[in-house]
Amino acid sequence: MSEWIYDRHGQAAAIMDGDCIRTGGGEVTAWLSGSSVYLLNGQHVGWFENGVLSDSNNQVIGFLSGAPDLPSCPGLGGTPGTPGFSGKPGRPGFSGTPGRPGRGGWSSHNLTEYLKR
């Protein structure tokens, strides 16, 4: 089952699809392994726990509808239709998981751009 991930402004920006995160257009852009988030090249870029997506500084960059523990809760924009999904690419070897800093507030990163690095 897939769910939209909303950015700090409450706009649908990415899609959670099982063990991966997809762009709004349906392309795989990141993998999940446990609570860690990795780009397609295997680089660790954050964490996903309890419906909250955090960047590498452990600041909230996105969330699923109804996620608890947000710094503040923005109003949600309309939810677009879910696009057709292409097949998933092969999973790369993942880099090590760095130590996790203390939780901050909202990330200054743009969710869509952050996952395209």
Residues 106 and 29: their CA atoms lie apart, in Å, by 21
| pTM score, whole prediction | 0.84
pLDDT at 59: 95
Q: Is residue 91 part of a domain?
A: no
93, 23 in Cβ contact below 8 A? no
Q: Is residue 61 part of a domain?
A: yes
Express each pLDDT in 59-106 by its tens digit.
Answer: 999 999 988 888 887 777 777 877 778 788 878 888 888 888 888 899
User: Domain residues for 53?
Assistant: 2-80+101-114
pLDDT at 76: 78
Q: Is residue 93 part of a domain?
A: no
Q: Is residue 96 part of a domain?
A: no
As for how many domains the chain has, the answer is 1
Express each pLDDT in 2-23 by its tens digit.
Answer: 999 999 999 999 999 999 999 9
Q: Is residue 86 part of a domain?
A: no
pLDDT at 7: 94
